[in-house]
A and B are shown apart, each in its own frame.
Chain A
Amino acid sequence: QVQLVQSGGGVVQPGKSLRLSCAASGFTVSIYDLDWVRQAPGKGLEWVAFMSSDGRNQDYTDSVKGRFTISRDISRNTLSLQMDSLRVEDTAIYYCARQGGGHFFDFWGKGALVTVSS
């Protein structure tokens, strides 16, 4: 069955870096669009980053452009999010999610908590 297993969260100081990973099983990452979505404490969901199924297109919400990089490793069937120059306001649970046939998220990872604090 489809699963997204996340790793890599933690506590980091402002200005530092952190990398999140999302290992997919039950499907091939090269066939589906994949995204990162975050949720700040007590807040709603926020779309963060997109990777197209062919790997040619990436896109980001404005607040992370130039700081976050989405990537994938087809050989390991894994999606990643490299987060640089982290800010306190990046504190959130980060979810990886698969887009279904349309632009909706049909499978989600369990989430990884990222806390940016001095």
Chain B
Amino acid sequence: SFVLTQPPSVSVAPGETATITCGGNNIASETVHWYQQIPGQAPLLVTYDDGDRPSGIPERFSAFKSGNTATLTISRVEAGDEADYHCQVWGGSSDHRLFGGGTKLTVL
């Protein structure tokens, strides 16, 4: 079955660029979406369809994919970006509708 693998944690200083990866077998052939989840809150869609941003999401959030890795990049990181980030794909079968394990972004 398809599996999405994320690093448990990523740390970055304010103003720097955070890179959060999501690994999966030939994930470049999938459509990948990313969510931000602040502790105690529901997830918030930050990019969809491999890199489009919903209204209200800053341009600092961008996404791309290549080969077996999808990547969410947050430039000019702010303290308010500290959260868990989850990647997601949706396939044709029930075992292909899944999220990655989530990555906790810490702003130092």
Contact = CB atoms under 8 A, between A and B. Distances in A.
Interface in B61-108: 86, 88, 90, 94-95, 97-102
Range of interface residues on B (Cβ < 8 Å): 20 to 34
Given A102-B49, A104-B49, A47 B97 contact: yes
Interface of A: 37, 43-47, 50, 59-62, 95, 100, 102-106, 108-111
Contacts, number: 63
Contact of B43 (A43, A45, A61, A102): A45
A108 B43 CA distance: 7
Contact of A102 (B31, B101, B102): B31
A14 B39 CA distance: 28
A108 B35 CA distance: 11
Contacts of B43: 37, 45, 95, 105, 108
A53 to B, nearest CB: 15
Sort A-B residue pairs by CB-CB distance and give the 9 closest, nearest first: A103-B90, A104-B33, A108-B42, A44-B102, A45-B99, A104-B48, A44-B101, A47-B97, A59-B94
Nearest to B95: A62
Contact of A60 (B37, B90, B94): B94
A50 to B, nearest CB: 7
Contacts of A110: 41-42
B45 interface: yes
Contacts of A103: 31, 33, 90, 97
B7 interface: no
Contacts of A105: 33, 35, 43, 45, 88
B86 to A, nearest CB: 5
A103 B48 CA distance: 9
Contacts of B48: 100, 102, 104, 106
A96 B18 CA distance: 29
Nearest to A96: B42
A61 B45 contact: no
Nearest to A111: B42
B45 A106 contact: yes
B54 interface: yes
